Amino acid sequence: MKKNFRGLFFTPYVLWLGMFVIAPVALIFYYSFFDIHHNFTLSNYQEFFTSGTYLTMTANSVLYAFLITLFAILISYPMALVISKLKHRNLWILLIILPTWINLLLKAYAFIGLLSHDGLVNELFQFFGLPVQHMLFTDASFILVAAYIQIPFMILPIFNSLTDISDSYIRASRDLGATKWQTLTKVIIPMTMPGIKSGIQIVFIPSLSLFMLSRLIGGNKVITLGTAVEEHFLTTMNWGMGSTIGVVLIISMVIVMLLTNTKRKRRRA
Amino acid sequence: MSKTIVELKNVYKKYDDGFTALKNISFKLQEGEFYTLLGPSGCGKTTILQSIAGFTEVTSGQVLFDGKKINDIPANKRQLNTVFQDYALFPNMNVFENVAFGLVVHNAKKDEIQTRVHDALKMVQLEQYANREISELSGGQQQRIAIARAIVNRPKVLLLDEPLSALDAKLRKDMQYELRELQQDLGITFLFVTHDQEEALAMSDEIFVMNKGEILQKGSPVDIYDEPINHFVADFIGESNIIEGKMVEDYQVAFLGHQFECSDAGMRPNEPVEVVIRPEDLVITTPEKGKLQVKVDTQLFRGDYYEILAYDKAGNEWLIHSTNASTDDAIVGLTFGPDDMHIMRFNETEAKFNHRLESYED
């Protein structure tokens, strides 16, 4: 009787897991073994790993995702550090989270307005007597906007791990003679590593496949794996190849998870 | 007379919301002594510790270390270390790295770090634990590592903020011996903060009793226990029976309708006073032989003694410690000698109190 009851509560979770996690992943794997004419084949994988185009695309995606993640950390960490020290820190963190509730498309268009040839930024440049810059459709603007989009997701876990640190650790460090900088590098940053790692996990993987931004802000000059997936499913209708790229993305996600999921417990004597 | 190492001069600490945590605190700490700040929570004892350590700025007054004013010197530049109440051992480092931290941040050489960490761990008898993780240690072991980490920099003063409060009773007693021994081996000044009077009495050379941001009384454990300055100190340190009375003349005190010989003097004739008698100084006898007659109400067996609660005819409560049990509802007599009573005046300052004691004691 009791056991049945527990099973009842378990059902929605199992259904969810089966329908929206296991089944789609299985389908992606399944489709990746068929070519455009629905023949079973390994040619998709062969093509992916031998074609220069796909490999460069992968390298590019990884490089861009790496840069986006790096800039997100460089901006988020000091910001989280400052906010965690503020009096109304929960209000400030809410202000950081607020933009994530706005649709990504809207934000992208807002940036187009800001960065375009006649946009606000260029008007400011002209006001100060600087030459007009071509900012839209450049690698730099793509990384800038992508980092902007990802920053809230990076700040939140870092902020949480910072607020978890008891004041007495910082006092102990200062008491033992550490400067503020030493306290930051030897105590605060190592203790917030779990926060940084979950930030990387949340930011790096989606950054591998930001197809909408790469089109709207990068002007399709930046071709990431995400763009390729979209092209294969919607334009060339080569679902097999699109799924293969999907599998590659899933595997790289697993790799990033493994790299960032080092156990807290370290070596034992 | 040994050298003064830490001195506070007229220190005040006021918070923005108007709360005054410290009111005109002045004291000197000598080299190599064990001091205790004793008081209930919120009395300002931790604030004093933090102002010496450099974690809080005093509103006015001077904090001196080795004769130099250190009010504006940051915590990391002060030559003293702290053992924290929650130990604050860095969870991302193992035992060795935790103890070595104070040396690493001062860029000490590798072999020097090795020997000094080993020495510090040896002091707390945990030298074989160097490679353990903090999470693998028991509360008592963490406590010792926190002490080892604090003494590795060879501070002249060690500040201890209620370090034993998280330990169980047995371990706490053991640690009292060890802390006292450690202090004597190191020969440095300890400033220990606690709300536990038993800890304070057991370990200290000198106790500062605090309440509401003020130091009420300074003195050796024996002085403070035997001659508390006022009702608060008498009540806070140990158990006591406090009765209102009248100082008839020098060495004569009256309470509960009787006049008794006592060993206190220097007060106005017929001045209203409070009389303190410790429960262990009361001896139970027959009603005829007793100086006072009381009726036993309840008895609790405490292991090494019986704690007996009794009431006199006026309804005053009497607490008696006796090695022998009594009978419930029995009328018994209580005797006590002149030295068992201690007379306290109302609103006497510490300076006047000490002056009066000196005037009639040799």
| Per-residue pLDDT, A114 | 87
Ranking A94-108, A125-139, B205-219 by mean pLDDT, the lowest is: A125-139
Q: Is residue B232 part of a domain?
A: no
Counted domains in chain A: 1
- At residue A73 the predicted structure's pLDDT band, cuts being 50, 70 and 90, is very high
Query: pLDDT tens across A138-174, in order?
Result: 888 888 899 999 999 999 999 999 999 999 999 999 9
Q: Is residue A215 in some structural domain?
A: yes
Confidence tier at A263 by pLDDT (50, 70, 90): low
Mutate one of A169, A175, A181 to test the B interface: name it (highest B CB count within 10 A): A175
Asked whether residue B262 falls in the same domain as residue B197, the answer is no
Whether residue A134 is contained in a domain is answered as: yes
Interface check for A164 against chain B (CB to CB < 8 A): the answer is no
Residue B207 pLDDT more than 90? yes
In a domain, A162, yes or no: yes
- How far B192 CA lies from chain A's nearest CA (Å)? 16
Flag whether pLDDT at A265 surpasses 60. Answer: no
Mean of the pLDDT values across residues B145-165?
92
Between CA A136 and CA A109 the distance in angstroms is 11
Q: Is the pLDDT of residue A3 over 70?
A: no
ipTM: 0.82
Mutation to test the A interface, candidates B81, B87, B101, most A Cβ within 10 Å: B101
| C-alpha distances in Å from residue A186, one per residue of A174, A192, B105, B275 | 11, 11, 9, 57
* Pairing status of strand B317-322 against strand B60-65: unpaired
Residue B340 has pLDDT above 60, yes or no: yes
> Does residue B349 share a domain with residue B295?
yes
Among candidates B53, B86, B133 on the partner chain, residue whose Cβ is nearest the Cβ of A175: B53
pLDDT in tens, B163-186: 888 888 888 888 899 899 999 999
* Whole-number pLDDT of residue A267: 43
| Per-residue model confidence (pLDDT) at position A10 | 85
Q: Does the pLDDT at position B51 exceed 80?
A: yes
Residue B12 domain-assigned? Answer: yes
A265 → chain B, closest CA residue: B133
- On whether any CB of chain B is under 8 Å from the CB of A166, the answer is yes
Distance CA B72, CA B52 (A): 11
Look at residue B1 in the predicted model and tell me its pLDDT.
54
Using a CB–CB cutoff of 8 Å, tell me whether A168 touches chain B.
Answer: yes
Contacts of A175 (CB under 8 A, 6+ apart): B53, B54, B55, B75, B76, B81, B82, B150
Contact B91 A191 (CB under 8 A): yes
Q: Which CATH number fits the domain that encloses residue A188?
A: 1.10.3720.10
Residues of A in contact with B132 (CB under 8 A): 269
For the stretch B84-132, pLDDT in tens is: 999 999 999 999 999 999 999 999 999 999 999 999 999 888 989 999 9
A174 touches chain B (CB under 8 A): yes
Q: Is A185 on the interface with B (CB under 8 A)?
A: no
Kindly list the residues from chain A whose CB atom is less than 8 angstroms away from the CB atom of residue B92. 187, 190-191, 193
Number of domains, chain B: 2
Give the residue-averaged pLDDT of B183-194: 93
Distance CA(A86)–CA(B330), nearest Å, equals 66
Asked if A187 reaches chain B (Cβ–Cβ under 8 Å), the answer is yes
State the average pLDDT over residues B259-287.
89
Q: What would the mean pLDDT of B256-266 be, rounded to a whole number? A: 86
Write out residues 88-127 of B within 8 Å (CB-CB) of A: 88-94, 101-102, 104-106
Q: What does the pLDDT read at residue A269?
A: 36
Residue numbers of the domain that contains B286: 238-360
